[in-house]
A = this chain, B = another copy of it.
Amino acid sequence: MSTELEALDTPAVAVDLDRLERNLRQTSELASAAGVKLRPHIKTHKSAWIAKRQLELGACGITVAKLGEAEAMAAAGIADILIAYPIVGAAKLQRLAALTKVARITVGIDSFEAAAGLSALGQSLDVRIPLYLDVNSGLNRCGREPGAASAELGAKIAALPGVWLAGLMTHAGHVYGKASREECREIAQAEAQALLTTQACLRVYGVDVREISAGSTPTSKFAAELAGITEIRPGAYVFGDGSQLYPGIIGEEECAMRIYATVVSAPRPDTIIIDAGSKTLTTDTSPHRPGYGYLPNYPEAVIERLSEEHGIVRVPDDCPLRIGDTVAVIPNHCCTVTNLHDRLIGVRKGRIERMIQVDARGRTQ
């Protein structure tokens, strides 16, 4: 670690800009080679600066989780946004109306009720709001079952005024529980199959959808193998994190995010305390590795417990870490870490180059 980074006030979240750029390019090239559109999910970075770089490198638009994130990105001039989340309720529909004046907004929905609200809005605005129907491909979160159940709903929605069914989407987030490349491939295939089966069933109703949108970071890597997919929506590839590193989806050199923390206590021979707790690292865990983050320079250390401001780290007997030392931590889950911080520190070759504003931090609404 350079002296400049060691002198950082901690805890601090740093992003290696060379690694970031390489990650952005790799996934852009992957999408391009596969002949699919890239619509990255910006929840990972929530930063207009990084989103614009993704667009410069060929992304067709961006994906966000919430209306408030879309507002933050539209305010920065981003013009094509998928809100991959049902917009429900009068307050949100009113905000969406304002947003449609400044950006092309597509909304992901999985119910007739949500579609009906958007239909009424579209009619009142005299537009047709593009919708993606969310299909369950195994995460068991939103979405009806693929095939007949989803197609029946899709056909009803396609018949509504004020909206049009622009695509089908799915997200197989349960891929993060898997360990091998082969398992990831199977889940990518399941994503594709869920969407394509539903697309075929929709044709029986005379409904043709344009976009077939899949993907998480691990499954999108198989885009080139999957005929019929038109768009991928990976997010976490931007920073990399433990959830990708531990099962071997990426290597350590692809982990662009590091949290720098200071050893503030060494109360027992086998324990040090670092100043990064759940307010810095989150309590997100990984099925692939115990603890709340990974110390690449001290691979035997385990962040066993977190309080809000304390990381309680079990260390081997010969661990040289002392009070005042700085450690780097690769977080289990980069997206939730970003949401805890107003800005990230952009570093290049060990030097601080710029601050990265987390423009959409905390935009849960």
Contact = CB atoms under 8 A, between A and B. Distances in A.
Interface of A: 7-12, 43, 65-66, 85-86, 88-92, 95, 110-111, 113-114, 117, 136, 140-144, 173, 262-268, 271, 273, 275-280, 282-284, 305, 307-310, 312, 322-324, 335-336, 339-342, 362, 364-365
In the complex this chain forms, how many copies of it are found? 2
Given A65-B308, A114-B265, 10 more contacts: A9-B92, A9-B365, A10-B365, A11-B365, A85-B309, A88-B262, A88-B324, A117-B324, A282-B282, A339-B340
A267 B108 CA distance: 14
A116 to B, nearest CB: 10
B89 A279 contact: no
A217 to B, nearest CB: 14
Contacts of A277: 364
Interface pairs A-B: 9 shortest CB-CB: A113-B323, A9-B91, A86-B264, A65-B309, A142-B265, A88-B264, A283-B283, A279-B364, A9-B365
B365 A340 contact: no
Contacts of A85: 264, 275, 309
Contacts of A267: 110-111, 136, 141-144
18 contacts: A43-B308, A85-B275, A86-B264, A86-B265, A86-B323, A88-B275, A111-B266, A111-B267, A113-B323, A140-B268, A144-B267, A275-B364, A276-B364, A279-B336, A283-B283, A308-B335, A339-B340, A342-B362
| SS class, residues of chain A in contact with chain B | loop
Nearest to A113: B323
Nearest to A280: B364
A314 B282 CA distance: 24
Contact of A89 (B95, B144, B324, B365): B324
B280 A141 contact: no
A188 B91 CA distance: 47
Nearest to A305: B141
Nearest to A95: B9
Contacts of A280: 364
Contacts of A336: 278-279, 308
Contact of A307 (B7, B141, B324, B362): B141
A362 B341 contact: yes
A124 B17 CA distance: 39
